[in-house]
């Protein structure tokens, strides 16, 4: 991809990964980007690098602007390999005077690359580095989403280089938020938040407060994945506020897997009952919906209703995978219920109820179990349970 001057003498020099379809279990149906930024100042500085497979792209982009050996400083905002995989090769070409990272970043770099000889310079939280006409303020963002994570803020440019924060997995030839469809952009940002940052929501809330307290002005947020925010900075900050506070709307997901369509038939009846209470529903069959897309839809859903038949005294593997994944991401303030068919032992509903209790859901118990194939009366029961879920959602207000 061609380099892009995002502000005067500040360049996007990253890489676009059009083919990425899986990111440690997160389905990236539209690829991703690994953004890196080059600031030309008295001290020429490179912020972040790219996955190892794209090291030639990064160096090619840099060479289109300057000789890499002219770079003075490098900054590693985050050590995960999608931003450092190419670091050994880039360091070889650049040989910077200093390599800035957080204290935890230095430890993580040593544990990844085992190179004590690199020119580490630990940036303490709040440290300011002068580049000449510009400066860089390092903002600690520990556990957003790794212990080493930090942001770099350039006050003279009102530019926040935000590492994984505010990112999206979306491969595009456009670089800015106002060059693409905003609703699609926000849906990628929501999916990213739901799958990467949701469990750290308490820290995101603190970070948003801290950014306000610091009084920093931001007119551009440049994340390490996806589009750069310049026209919708306020929108993405507000969306992060909503997501971090677990704000949801009157919407319920009816999530299920099925063996011989009994649980699927129950899912439709449960959904019908919820709908009858004026609550928006979405049925998500796990055979055709990836768990990372379910989590994305769950972000603004107040109701999450799970259906699985019993298999081997347990639940179907796709439901087990979803619930295990979801539990790790710590969704909060949800209303839940469970249902499913069974043949003889019938543990599935209890197992799903237990998962929901572990996630602090408000569970509409006991759920519904149907032996083998539901009758008309069983389906009426499912509709009634759906109505109770819809009522519970309505009672929580808008």
Catalytically active residues, by annotation: 24, 78, 80, 82, 145, 164, 192, 225
The reply on whether position 134 binds ligand FEO by CB under 6 A is no
Distance CA 310, CA 288 (A): 20
Identify which range of 48-56, 76-84, 125-133, 292-300 contacts ligand FEO by CB under 6 A: 76-84
Q: In this complex, which beta carbon is closest to ligand FEO, that of residue 150 or of residue 379?
A: 150
Whichever of 164 and 297 has its CB closer to ligand FEO, that residue is 164
Half-sphere exposure of 202 (CA within 13 A, CB side): 3
Which span sits near ligand FEO by CB under 6 A: 80-88, 298-306, 336-344, 349-357? 80-88
Q: Which is nearer to ligand FEO, 51 or 302 (CB)?
A: 51
Residue nearest to ligand FEO (CB): 80
**Tokens at 263, concatenated:** 């649980």
Which CB sits closer to ligand FEO, 139 or 253?
139
- State which of positions 237-296 bind ligand FEO (CB under 6 A): none
CB of 116 to ligand FEO, least distance (A): 24
Of 114, 106, 76, 81, nearest to 94 (Cα)? Answer: 76
Instruction: Say how far apart CA 103 and CA 97 lie, in whole Å.
Output: 18
Could you tell me if 276 and 256 are in contact, meaning their C-beta atoms sit under 8 angstroms apart?
Answer: no
| 179 burial level (CB within 10 Å; 0-12, 13-18, 19+) | middle
Is residue 164 close enough to count as binding ligand FEO by CB under 6 A? yes
Closest CA to 292 of 204, 190, 200: 190
Structure tokens at 57: 């792209």
CB of 21 to ligand FEO, least distance (A): 16
Phi first, then psi: give them for residue 144, nearest 5 degrees: -120, 75
Distance CA(77)–CA(161), nearest Å, equals 9
Residue 225 contacts ligand FEO per CB under 6 A:
yes
Asked whether the bond before 250 is cis by omega within 30 degrees of 0, the reply is: no
Q: Which is nearer to ligand FEO, 17 or 297 (CB)?
A: 17
Position 83 contacts ligand FEO (CB under 6 A): yes
41 binds ligand FEO (CB under 6 A): no
Q: 3-state DSSP call for residue 255?
A: strand
Q: Which is nearer to ligand FEO, 41 or 164 (CB)?
A: 164
| Of positions 41, 48, 148, 224, contacts ligand FEO by CB under 6 A | 224
Q: Which of 41, 48, 80, 297 binds ligand FEO (CB under 6 A)?
A: 80
82 lines the binding site for ligand FEO (CB under 6 A): yes
- Residue 358: C-alpha distances to residues 142, 230, 343, 348, 393 (Å): 26, 40, 27, 16, 20
Size of the site for ligand FEO (CB under 6 A): 9
Contact positions with ligand FEO (CB under 6 A) in 354-383:
none
CB of 225 to ligand FEO, least distance (A): 6
Interacting span for ligand FEO (CB under 6 A) from 78-86, 94-102, 154-162, 266-274: 78-86
In three-state secondary structure terms, 272 is helix
- Cβ–Cβ under 8 Å, residues 55 and 86: yes
Q: Among residues 356, 376, 377, which one has the least CA distance to residue 367?
A: 356
Which residues are near ligand FEO by CB under 6 A? 78, 80, 82-83, 145-146, 164, 224-225
């Amino acid at each position: 991809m061609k380099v892009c001057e995002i502000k005067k003498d500040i360049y996007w020099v990253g890489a676009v990964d059009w083919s990425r379809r899986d990111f440690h279990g997160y389905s990236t149906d539209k690829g991703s980007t690994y953004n890196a930024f080059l600031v030309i100042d008295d001290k020429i500085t490179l912020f972040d690098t790219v996955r190892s497979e794209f090291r030639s792209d990064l160096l090619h982009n840099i060479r289109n602007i300057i000789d890499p050996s002219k770079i003075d400083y490098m900054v590693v905002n985050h050590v995960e390999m999608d931003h450092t995989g190419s670091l050994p090769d880039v360091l070889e070409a650049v040989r910077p005077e200093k390599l800035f990272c957080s204290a935890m970043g230095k430890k993580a770099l040593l544990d990844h690359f085992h190179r004590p000889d690199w020119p580490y310079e630990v940036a303490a939280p709040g440290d300011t580095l002068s580049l000449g006409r510009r400066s860089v303020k390092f903002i600690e963002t520990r556990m957003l989403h790794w212990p080493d994570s930090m942001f770099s803020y350039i006050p003279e440019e009102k530019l926040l280089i935000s590492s994984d924060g505010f990112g999206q997995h979306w491969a595009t030839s456009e670089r800015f938020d106002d060059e693409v469809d905003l609703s699609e952009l926000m849906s990628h940002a929501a999916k990213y938040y739901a799958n990467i940052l949701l469990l750290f929501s308490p820290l995101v809330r603190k970070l948003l407060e801290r950014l306000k307290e610091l009084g920093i002005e931001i007119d551009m947020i440049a994340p390490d994945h996806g589009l750069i925010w310049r026209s919708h900075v306020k929108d993405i900050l507000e969306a992060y506020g909503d997501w971090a506070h677990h704000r949801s709307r009157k919407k319920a997901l009816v999530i299920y897997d099925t063996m011989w369509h009994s649980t699927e038939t129950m899912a439709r009846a449960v959904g019908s009952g919820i709908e009858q209470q004026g609550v928006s529903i979405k049925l998500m069959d796990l055979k055709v919906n990836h768990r990372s897309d379910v989590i994305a839809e769950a972000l603004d859903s107040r109701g999450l209703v799970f259906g699985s038949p019993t298999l081997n005294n347990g639940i179907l593997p796709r439901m087990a995978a979803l619930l295990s994944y979801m539990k790790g991401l710590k969704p909060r303030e949800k209303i839940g219920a469970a249902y499913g068919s069974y043949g003889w032992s019938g543990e599935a509903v209890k197992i799903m109820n237990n998962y929901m209790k572990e996630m602090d859901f408000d569970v509409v118990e006991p759920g519904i179990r149907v032996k083998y194939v539901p009758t008309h009366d069983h389906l009426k029961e499912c509709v009634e349970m759906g109505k109770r879920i819809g009522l519970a959602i309505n009672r929580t207000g808008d």
